[in-house]
Each structure stands twice: as structure tokens, then as C-alpha cells.
Structure 1
Amino acid sequence: MAGKLTEIFGIDVFNDATMVERLPKKTYIALKKTIENGEDLDPAVAEVVANAMKDWAIERGATHYTHWFQPMTGITAEKHDSFISPTVDGKVIMEFSGKELIKGEPDASSFPSGGLRATFEARGYTAWDCTSPAFLREDASGVTLCIPTAFCSYTGEALDKKTPLLRSMEALSNQAVRILKLFGHSDVTYVSCSVGPEQEYFLIDKEKYLAREDLIFTGRTLFGAMPPKGQELDDHYFGILKERVAVFMKELNEELWKLGVLAKTQHNEVAPAQHELAPIYTTANISTDHNQLTMELMKRIANHHGLTCLLHEKPFAGLNGSGKHDNWSMVTNTGKNLLYPGKTPHENVQFLLFLAAVLKAVDEHADLLRQSASTPGNDHRLGANEAPPAIISIFLGDQLADVLTQLIETGEATRSKQGGRISVGSHAIPSIRKDATDRNRTSPFAFTGNKFEFRMVGSSMSIAGPNTVLNTIVADVLCEMADELEKADNFDLAVHDLIKKTVTEHQRIVFNGNGYCDEWVEEARRRGLPNIRSMVEAVSALTTEKSIKLFGKHHVFSEAELHSRAEIEYETYSKAINIEAKTMIQMTNKKFIPAVIKYVTKLAESISTIKVACPQADISVQEDLLMRTSSLLAEAKEAAYKLTSYVEEAGSKEGKEQAFYFREVVFPAMSELRAPIDELELIVDKELWPVPTYGDILFEI
């Protein structure tokens, strides 16, 4: 397999090796200048590239091409066009021009725009993103050439997640290069953000999935009592893969490798039926595209094996949900990781300055980071025992925390704690190197050796949003630092004072303790750290005066684009909860209540039969059960009626008001309906219960 892997890796990608092989040298050099240095693309170059790309794709069986883009829905979109062009003799030839490569024109009217475009204003454009390689995708429709693109409106506003990400990457690079020039690194021309998203997901049997409307319509179970066994034995975590799962993972890996996705790690996660895939880090833009491809392939390949992949953040109540830990760092074009502390970080002034910049950025813009990780599904996960709390803080570990303490208390850092080695007490096992710092899985933003791990991101999310925010807030702090240092007469003294000042003023954001404990909530309040508990509360961070100034300064979002995204977020939340509430009402009225009535009827008939046959028999158990079941049935009916009225009332509201109504009124009413139904599940005969239970779903693959 090792030989096969190296042969198939990137085979479906128009990557650098393919371009070297198929493009004239002059064209290749010109394209690389655009990709690496941001130089304008010559239309003549695009024409040559388009022709080479078309020939390569056709040789591999492609008949169509598509501009593959990422609208504000959070998933990808595409419109397919064939390569055919008619000839005068009634036949066709296969053509693909530079113009078709550079620009597409999908209908923009039906994608979320948040008021940027009126519904009747339909025109939108896709523009080739040459920094992310084109690729081939084979499915039931055949082979399609997929061209990663940005998506904008007729008036130029970004209607997607990729465009702001690219803008933020440029902003970060510009400001980081300014800092590095001051340190004497004249060879550094750009700095990229390197990202590796760890993708968690659930795999369940497809037949059981199709038997539950809540999973079909919402991606999560809206009802369900916990089975006798959940995850408490920790026997699933890192356990042996079940055969169906292993076969799925094998195919998934092979398809990802063909697409150049650096799929590296796979294992069982904590909850039953939960798993994880982690890639090797790559540039944020490509990593975002790869993660979207990963999620798409997970769903498609699961179907090949009679399975369904669930990417919702909390598909099963009472069990761990799924996140997408976003590992983020900064890397120069010369290959240096700016967040690598070295063996003696107290002496690494450049590292300490970049570290201080991240501390300040996260502290000053915690609300934006929290918002960037917000989805309706993530509201169920953040703050639960398997996920970081909703309070943003940074874990640095003992080594770096000690270095910062020295700086704050004495003005100088003279030592760095070292990890040493661990002996496990057996001569058969060699001693192992111990890291200087432990890991903290309760932290939402943790330093993990040479990068930060943003653990709040939800499993279903595009990582474009969180990384756009991270890049921009760090770029802004680096800009402030560069402005100050460029004017300094004594750079060494100025950078020392700036590091000390920054870490002193923002030490409140550092917390190395247990983020799950109740005491931390009170401690965070005392420190003045925001505790934003839900998505709807987080949205307002997008449109504060501070945010508008921040994103406008670095040309990442215009004010109109920020307001549009806030509107989209409110709409997204309202629509998601509305669908969930309506699904609950429908399942209650059409499935659960009829099933319980059948059970109650059988029970009542049984009681009557016994009374006739044996008047002296003790039937108190049956009668108590009948009364309890009937009471729960009435409770469920009343809760369904109340939820219905709330959903109808929500329809009279819109925007922010509607979103808060769904959060504060409809959402609690959904919990009130779920409670009696879940209790009835534990009473009613299994043969009568209309949907597969948690036990059926989680343990029968």
C-alpha cells in the first residue's frame, strides 16, 4: 500500500508538479508569481493555463467543469458546464478559454446575502482562486474539473467565506513581514497562516438514520433517552475500529489522498459511533478547501457502506459532541514557524513578540472569536464536559507562563523550564522525553508546542470564518507593534519594553486551570472576560464600532459586508430552530402520540380483561403504569400545543428579534416537549416505539 499511496497522492490535482509538466516555463513562472507574490494575473497566462488544464482533465475522463465556491451557507456550491463547443459542420469540439477559467456567473439571488442584494438582483460572479489548485472529482455524474473560486456580487461585495479569508491572509502577511524586517529578515517576502483542522464525526447505520425524521431534517436527534451504557467506560476512545468503519476509513483515505489532502490520523473518539480524522497542516486557504472536501467525501463514502455520516455538533444528547479543533500558526516563505519557541523561549525575543501579539489580539477581540465559532449546533456543545467553555481564555502551559511571569514581575526572563525525561519503571521500556508543558483540553485556545489550537470551532463549520478572524485580529496587533517599533531609536530596548507592556496588560486572558469548573466562571467574571452563552448573543460582535474599524482598516470586510453577515447569522439561527421545532411537533403528533395511545389502549384492555377474569387480582402495578403513561401523554400533548403556538408567533417577527425569540422562548419549549417523550420511551413496548433508540443507533453498526 505504501507504494500505491505515493503513486496515487495528488493524482486528481492540477498541482505544482502537473503544472511544471504541462505549462511552458514562462507561463509557469508567471503563474507562480501570482500565487506566491500576489501579482496580477496576465489574461494571456490564464489562456495557456486554461488550455493545459482542459487537456489534463479530458485525458482523465472529464466532460464538464465547474467553478467550485463557498457561499454563506457554509457548504460548497457549483454549476456544471461541459467543455463542448459547436462547429459549423454540426459537430462539437472541446474548448475551455482563459475567460471561462477566470470568471463564472452563477445566479446569486438564492444564496444568503444578508441584504447586500435584492432578490430580483440575480447577477453574481465567481473568480478563479489560483492559490488553491484545481482538482478532479468523480461521482455518478462522471468526472468534473473543479476550479476553486471566490464568489462576489455584481457590485463587488463578498458573498462567500473564501474572499474574506484571502483578504485576511494578505493582511496578516503584510503586517508580519513588517515585524520580521525589523528583526533583519530581509529574505522574508510573505507569511502564511498554517492550519490543520481535526475533524470529528459520527457514523451510524443508514437504515436507522432514514427511520428518524429528526436526523434527516436537522442532523441531530431531537428525542432520545440515554441507553444503560453510554461512554462512561471509555472503551470506545482509541479502541479497535469496527470492520464497517475501517472499510469506510480506508476508502475515505484513498479518495482524500488522490485529491492531495494530507489525511494523517484516524481513530475512535470518546462517544460510541464517534470518530476523528486529522490532516497535516497546510496553508489556511488550501486547508479550508480540503476540509470542505473532507466533509463532502465523508458523507458520500459513508453512503457506499450503508452508513450515514453526522457532522452536527451534538447529534446525541448526553454524549460527547463533535468539534473541529483548528490548529493555527504563522510560517514564513523561508519555512520558519513564528510560533516555535525553541529550547530557550526566554531568549527568543522574536517568538515572544509574536506570542504577545496573539495574547493581545485574543484578549481584545474575544467576542469576535466566540462569534466565529458560533452555530446553532455548537450552542449544545460549548461549555459541556467534552468541549471548551464559552469563555475565551488562553492556555500557555507551565513553561511559557513562567517566562511571562518573570517578565511581568522583574522585567527580565532569565530561564525556561525544561521537560526532562520520564521513566515508566520498566527496564524493557526506554525513558521518554517529557514536554516542557502539559496539554489542557478544557481550554478554548491552547498553545500546543508551536501553534495555537482553537478548540471551540464546531464540526459542521467551515474553518474559513474562525481563521479570517484570527488572521485579522493578529494582523491588527502586529500593525500597531510595527508602527511603534519602526519609530524606535533603540530597537532592542523598544521591543523588550513592548513585550513586557503587552503581556502585563493582557495577562488576564491566560488561564492554565480547569475551564470546566464553576469557579472559573466566577474568576473569569472577576477578570472582566466576556461569557457569551449563545450564538444569538454572539452575533452583535460583528457590527460593533470596534469591529467595523478593525475589518475596514485591513480591507477584510466592509461595513455593509459585516451587517449582511450579522443578518445572515440571525436568519440561520431562526431557520435552524424553526425546522427543529416543526420536526418535533410533527414527530410528536404523527409518531409518538399514536404509538403511546396504542400502548395505553393495550394496557387498559389488559386491565379490563384481568378484572373480568380475576376480580380479586392485584392490578395496582398496571393501573399505576396506565396513570403514569396517560399523564405523560397529556403532558406531551400540552407541550406540543404550546410549542406550536410559539412557532406561529415567531413567524410574526424577523431579524434579530426573531432570533432571540427562538432562543429564549421556542428553544426552552422544545426541551419541555422532549422530556415527557423521552420518559415515555423508557415505558412503552419496544415493538411499539416508532423510531430507533439511542441503543439501536449507537451500538449496532
Structure 2
Amino acid sequence: MSQTKVSVNELFGINVFNDEAMQERLPKNIYKSFKKTVKECEPLDPALADVIANAMKDWAIEKGATHYCHWFQPMTGFTAEKHDSFIAPTNEGTVIMEFSGKELTQGEPDASSFPSGGLRATFEARGYTAWDCTSPVFIKEDGENTTLYIPCAFCSYTGEALDKKTPLLRSMEALNKHAMRVLRALGNTTSKRVGATLGSEQEYFLIDRKFVEKRIDLVMAGRTLFGSPSPKGQEMDDHYFGSLDERVATYMNRLNIELWKLGVSAKTQHNEVSPAQYEMAPVFSSINLSSDQNQLTMEAMKKVAKRCGFECLLHEKPFAGVNGSGKHNNWSLCTDDGINLLDPGSTPHENMVFLIFLCSVVRAVDKYAKLLRASVASAGNDHRLGANEAPPAIVSVFLGDQLNEIFTTLAKGPATSCKEGGKIKLGVTTLPELPKDTTDRNRTSPFAFTGNKFEFRMVGSSQSVSGPNFVLNTIVAEVLSEIADKLESSDDKIKAAGEFLQKISKENGKIVFNGDNYSQDWVTEAEKRTLPNMRKSVEALNTITEPAFVDVFEKHGVLSKGELKARQEIMLENYATTIAIEAKATINIAKRQILPAVVKYSLNLAQTVNGVTSSGSDASVYKEMLDEISSETKKLKSAITALEKSLTAAEEKECTAESAECFCNGVIPSMDKVRMSADKLETLVDAAQWPLPTYAEMLFLK
């Protein structure tokens, strides 16, 4: 039966060893013990592991799997996997299919070739993967290969985290610990755990592969290093939420099927602002599961795109002059018994639990704004942040009219009222009145409250969400621990809570801004408020190891000073390496494609000038064209030479931080000058002779 004819109910989660599969295949006592382990975050009993592993093996083999792999998230920002078959030889020269509890729970991939930021020397190769039983195992089909995937954490021989999942799991524990302290102090005796939930909106571009195959920059760097603007871009506002192209709709359908099979609840899909730009969004789930599923989503997007003749671009700014792509990080806090701690209810001014958790987030963002900015720092995101379609590099919080009124009032004492929502009357009798939210949305804010969650809009489209979210979890846990200390030491909890809310309103109100974050007025105002404005990632990354940031991570057991320093080193090195690849691709394309095309066209023009002149006619127009091209070609050649020199200077720096600075302040400006001349020449050279597919072709032809 065709996949498209199978109902979604039948399709959803068929490749996941989920609760339904476990109930069917595990003995009842094993199932109950395992569920208790997961729910209460207890250590896994080794006796359970053998039984569970055997059930997983049988399930996977029935689905055609021959191998299993420990699937983890090293500091590359991508995922990694080492495959082993289920076969085990027998004395009779045959094989049997085996899979033990030890093979399920622990693996040993080589750790020496993954980024470690100095935590491990090259000769110290041993690393371990450990099964994260809070994220279900799944089957993945890659061509004719079917494998059982086991989500894992990844650590060194000496116990340091070498991945993005481990600090996320640690931060979840810290957040739960201090959120529960606050709830208990405020009288909640029923909830047992607090966890963060996450929904990641994923933006992306789809470009016909025939164009990508002719663009080394897209192949090597994921973005266009050259390209004159298309005559039409996004200025007509006709692509956003527009009708889907049939070929794109087919891609989206096939993507949904792949994701649904993996248990990813892909829900929303639509055209985004820029031509050839789209978005998908899943339903919320626990932060750890959602992070894993976003990695699967990005991988599936690229694989399905190739099957459909597209290339999926996840770079934050693949095309200059049109919108870039982000990954809006919708984060909230929920208890195990279903209470959303960021749900204001109908009377938020009277909801002490809501106000405490809301204001805790505001205080955390204010105190650790630089750390949040560093958590989304990358070479790609620098092109997007601060552009006229994305949040600026200045971190601020949007609360909306109702909550802002309450927050401001708290500085003077308890809030006694709040703004009502009301109704929207459309003036047409056949249309219903619409319930009106108490506040409008602010799509320019980098950190906006949106009903019952916060939307962190600075996260880059290609980025793993684990990094920004373990930072967010940790800094909120820190403020909650501060509040819990105050409440636990006070006889009058409500009075103490009110005093702390007043303190937050007075001390941290500068981070709250409800206006237009894109305006220059806000940049000026933010400077008056002493809010950091770090436009460049290198500047943000250099702040990671400030004493206050080291202290907060060490206090909550999320990262040691050495682990944090290693991450800083890796991110700076990644930044420098990314720019180096872009610079080398720029030089390659400019020297081997653009210059030869320009020289060839110049020769044709010169021959035309000579021919027209020898015929006795006026060749001045052709001569002007040749002179203009010759002048710009000279600028291009000079810019290429300057870029080569700046690249060499940057690569000669031995210190990673100094190298990154050199790439940022030397190489990038040199690349920009090469592009400026090349893009000018694109507008002058015969289109038939220009070697690169144009913006107009890539953005509009499917």
C-alpha cells in the first residue's frame, strides 16, 4: 500500500519503540519498572536493560533492521552514529542475532576526531555513549539500509561532556530541582516534577538542485557568496502564506510522512516571507525529546529535498537582500500533572505562581543577556541578527500591554487589576466576533512572551537547539534558586514572594521593551539602559567564560569551568573555520569562474570595438562598456589579492581567539569587497556568459 494512502493514525510513530510498542512487547513488571525509571529520572536497573534490549532487537528485526547505532550530538552541531550489526557468530559457523543490555546502554565510539576544545588530546581516543532512556529509540531507513537508533549522551574517558545533550539533561535536572522548591514553598504539594517544553519553528529554503550543482558556494558554504539582487525580491509581500507550489507541496507531504513515522508531530507548514523560503513547526514536547526531533527534522528535510530534486538550505542567510532563516524557540515550563507555570489564567495579577515564574525568566534574561546572545552566536547568524527581518543582537523581553502593566505596577507593590482582552468586531453580520487577546504580538522582539510561553527568536536555523536551551534552563534555575532561598527562610511566604517580585520589577525592568526592536531609536535607548549590543559573534563568544557565567554553570552542575572553556574554544574555532571555507570558496569562484567569464566577454567587446571602428562607425558606446568592465575587473582583481593576504594573516594566528578576531575584522570585509565588484560585473556581462545561476533563477524558478 502506498504510504500516502495509509492514515496518519496508522503511520504516526510506526518507526518508534514508543509506549504502545513497549506495552505490547515487554512483560508488565518490566514495563512498569521502566516507566517509573523514566518518569522519576532514576538510574536504570541493569536487569531491566537485557530484557528491554531483547524486545527492541526483535521489534527492529521485524521491521527489517540489521544494525543498531548509538546516535549522539557531538560539538560539531550535527549528529553522529556508529553502526554495529546484530549478528554474533556461533560455533557451527552460522550467526545468531543478539543485542544485550550493555550494548543498549553503553557504546564506545572514538572520541579523538570530534571537537573537544582541548579537553582531550588526539592520542586520548576513548569516549563513551550512554543511552538516554528519556528519548525513545527509533528505526531509520536510509536507502536499503534499516537501523535501530539509540539516542545517547557522549562523554570522555574522564567524564567530561563532549556533546550537546549532556549539559541539556543536566540543566533539566537543575531547573526541576529549584522550580519544585519554589512550588513547594508556595503550597503546591501534588506536582512531582517540573520540565521545560519546547516547540521549534524551523525555517528553510528550497532551491532546485540544478542550480545548486552550478554553485560551489552553496555546495561548500551553504550560502551564496556572490549574487546581484533579483529585479523582484520580497517587496511585493506576495509569498508569505501564499498558495503552495505543487512541487513544494509534494515535498512537504513527503517530509511530513517521514517525520510522522519517526513520531515527530509536524503540524504547521507554509510559505515564509522570502521567495523560495518555507517553515514547518511541530507540536510542543519535552525539551529533550524536542531537541532530538529537531535534529531528525533537519536531516529529513535535506534527504527528502534531494529525492524531490531540491536542495534544502538551512543556512541563516543563504541570499543577501531577502529574509534569512531562524528557528523560533518556543519555551515553557510544565509540571508532571499538567500545570503550565507560564499560563497567566484569567486574572494574572492574582496568580502568584505565574508571576513568580514569569518574573524569574525576566530577571534571568536581564542578568545573563550576554550569555543568551553567545548561545546563538555563529558566523551564519551574524548575517541575520540585526537585519531588517530578524531580532537585533540586543537581547530584550516583550511582555505585551497586560503583563507589562502588571510588571511595572509590581515595583510599587502588589498589582490589583489588569487589562481585559475584549472582542474584535469585524462589521459583517455573517462573521463571528473574535475573542481578542490582551496584547498584540511583537515579531521584532528577540525574547517575547506569547500567551503561555516565551519565544526566543534569535536561534539560528541551522543550529542545534540544545545549546540555547541548556543556557536558558540554567539561568532560570539560578533565579529560581535565589527565590526559593528567600521563600524557604521566610515565615510569611506570600509577603516574601511579593518583595521579590518588587525587587525584580525595580532591578530588571530595563530588559523589558514592547516597541519596535528594528528601529534605530531602540538602539539608542538600549545603550542608555546599558543593555549589551554585540553585533558580532566573536564579541559575544569572548564573554562566555566571564566569572559570573562560570559560576552559574558550575553551581548547578551543568558545565565545569573546563567544559565551558572547551565550548568557547570550539565555537570560536568553528567560526574561524567557517569563514576560512567561505573565503577560499570566494577566491576559487572569483578566479576560476567569474574572472574568466569577464575576460572572455571583454575580449568580445574589444573585438566589437575594433570591428565597428574599422568600419568607420562610432564605437564610443562599446568603448564605454569595455572601459566600465575593465575598471571593475581591476577592482575585482585587487580585492582578490587583498582577500588572499587577509586569509593568510588569519590562518597564521596560533591563538584561536585571535584567529577568529582576524577572520571577523579582516577576512570578512575583504570578502565583501570581492563580492561588491563581482556583483557589479554580473550586471554588466552578457547573461549567457555569466557562469553562476542568478538570484532571479534560484528564487523564482522551480
TM-score for the superposition, normalised by structure 1:
0.99
Does the 8 Å contact 1:359/1:503 carry over to 2?
Answer: no
Aligned-partner SS, 2:7: helix
Q: Which residue of 2 aligns with 1:517?
A: 519
Question: How far apart are residue 27 of structure 1 and its match?
Answer: 1.2
Does the 8 Å contact 2:186/2:494 carry over to 1?
Answer: no
Letter in 2 for 1:406: T
Match of 1:371 among 347, 371, 374: 374
Equivalent residues in 2 for 1:329-368, closer than 5 Å: 329-368=332-371
Letter in 1 for 2:679: D
Aligned-partner SS, 2:416: coil
Regions of 4+ moved over 6 Å:
none
| Aligned mates of 1:501, 1:565 — CA distance in 2 | 33
Aligned-partner SS, 1:543: coil
Change (3 A) 1:2 1:391: farther
Question: 2:469 aligned with 1:458, yes or no?
Answer: no
Equivalent residues in 2 for 1:235-250, closer than 5 Å: 235-250=238-253
Aligned-partner SS, 1:329: strand
Q: Deviations over 1:317-342 (max 9, x none)?
A: 00100000000000000000000000
Question: How far apart are residue 541 of structure 1 and its match?
Answer: 2.4
Q: Which residue of 1 aligns with 2:231?
A: 228
Question: How far apart are residue 7 of structure 1 and its match?
Answer: 0.8
Q: Which moved more, 1:208-217 or 1:12-21?
A: 12-21
Letter in 2 for 1:641: T
| Aligned mates of 2:37, 2:558 — CA distance in 1 | 20
| Aligned mates of 1:567, 1:372 — CA distance in 2 | 13
TM-score for the superposition, normalised by structure 2:
0.99
Letter in 2 for 1:181: R
Aligned-partner SS, 2:80: coil
| Aligned mates of 2:543, 2:91 — CA distance in 1 | 59
Letter in 2 for 1:6: N
Q: Which residue of 2 aligns with 1:106?
A: 109
Question: 2:580 aligned with 1:578, yes or no?
Answer: yes
Does the 8 Å contact 2:204/2:277 carry over to 1?
Answer: yes
Question: How far apart are residue 254 of structure 1 and its match?
Answer: 0.8
Q: Deviations over 1:33-68 (max 9, x none)?
A: 221111111111011110000000001110000000
Q: Which residue of 2 aligns with 1:381?
A: 384
Does the 8 Å contact 1:472/1:551 carry over to 2?
Answer: yes
| Aligned mates of 2:407, 2:572 — CA distance in 1 | 40
Equivalent residues in 2 for 1:526-605, closer than 5 Å: 526-605=528-607
Q: Which residue of 2 aligns with 1:620?
A: 620
Question: 2:263 aligned with 1:260, yes or no?
Answer: yes
Aligned-partner SS, 2:544: helix
Question: 2:451 aligned with 1:449, yes or no?
Answer: yes
Q: Which residue of 2 aligns with 1:208?
A: 211
Question: How far apart are residue 2 of structure 1 and its match?
Answer: 9.5
Q: Which moved more, 1:411-420 or 1:96-105?
A: 411-420
Q: Deviations over 1:439-494 (max 9, x none)?
A: 00110000000000000000000000010000000000000110110010111211
| Aligned mates of 2:208, 2:173 — CA distance in 1 | 44
Does the 8 Å contact 2:612/2:618 carry over to 1?
Answer: no
Q: Which residue of 2 aligns with 1:178?
A: 181
Q: Which residue of 2 aligns with 1:660?
A: 661
Q: Which residue of 1 aligns with 2:55?
A: 52
Letter in 1 for 2:684: I
| Aligned mates of 1:371, 1:254 — CA distance in 2 | 35
Question: How far apart are residue 640 of structure 1 and its match?
Answer: 0.3
Question: 2:81 aligned with 1:90, yes or no?
Answer: no
Aligned-partner SS, 1:119: coil
Q: Which residue of 2 aligns with 1:283?
A: 286
Aligned-partner SS, 1:377: helix
Aligned-partner SS, 1:144: strand
Q: Deviations over 1:52-86 (max 9, x none)?
A: 00000001110000000000000100011000000
Letter in 1 for 2:513: F
Question: How far apart are residue 293 of structure 1 and its match?
Answer: 0.3
Q: Which residue of 1 aligns with 2:130?
A: 127
Letter in 1 for 2:698: I
Q: Which residue of 2 aligns with 1:699?
A: 700
Does the 8 Å contact 1:201/1:276 carry over to 2?
Answer: yes
Letter in 1 for 2:38: I
Q: Which residue of 2 aligns with 1:637?
A: 637
Does the 8 Å contact 2:268/2:281 carry over to 1?
Answer: yes
Structure 1: runs of 5 or more not aligned: none
Aligned-partner SS, 1:572: helix
Percent identity reads 58
Question: How far apart are residue 140 of structure 1 and its match?
Answer: 1.5
| Aligned mates of 2:516, 2:135 — CA distance in 1 | 39
| Aligned mates of 1:84, 1:280 — CA distance in 2 | 38
| Aligned mates of 1:607, 1:587 — CA distance in 2 | 29
Question: 2:433 aligned with 1:437, yes or no?
Answer: no
Question: How far apart are residue 196 of structure 1 and its match?
Answer: 0.2
Question: How far apart are residue 3 of structure 1 and its match?
Answer: 7.1
Does the 8 Å contact 1:570/1:659 carry over to 2?
Answer: yes
